[in-house]
């Protein structure tokens, strides 16, 4: 959490900026956050995926008779959602 004094200083600086400068600042912050997010993403190895809770997730489900068809339906449903970026989907886990 940002200390109260630092927060006040940030507010003063932001209040003094023009709309153009604020827009530029937002772009810089957005780029910084994208780089930071990319650095913090970690992908599972094949071994980690095999040992994860995802393998066998549906084994006790009696309502799923065809695993492949069910998974296909889930993927199709997810692809129809407009708020998902399909160019960059990943499973990330905190260590």
Q: pLDDT tens across 3-58, in order?
A: 788 889 989 998 999 999 999 999 999 999 988 888 777 777 888 888 888 888 87
More confident residue, 90 or 29: 29
Taking CA atoms, 29 is separated from 4, 18, 35, 44, in Å, by: 21, 16, 10, 28
CA dihedral 41→45→50→55, nearest 10 degrees, is 30
Q: Taking residues 44-73, what's their average pLDDT?
A: 85
3-state helix, strand, coil split of the chain in percent (to 5) is 55, 0, 45
Residues near 54 by Cβ (< 8 Å), separated by ≥ 6?
Answer: none
pTM (global) more than 0.85: no
pLDDT, position 37: 83
Model confidence at 86: pLDDT above 60 = no
């Amino acid at each position: 959490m940002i200390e109260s004094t630092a927060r006040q200083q940030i507010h003063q600086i932001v209040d003094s900026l023009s709309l153009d400068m604020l827009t530029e600042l937002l772009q810089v912050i957005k780029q910084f956050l994208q780089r930071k997010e990319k650095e913090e993403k970690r992908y599972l190895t094949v071994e980690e995926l095999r040992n994860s809770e995802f393998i066998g997730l549906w084994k006790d489900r009696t309502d799923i008779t065809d695993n492949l068809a069910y998974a296909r339906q889930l993927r199709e449903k997810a692809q129809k959602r407009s708020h998902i970026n399909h160019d960059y989907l990943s499973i990330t886990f905190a260590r």
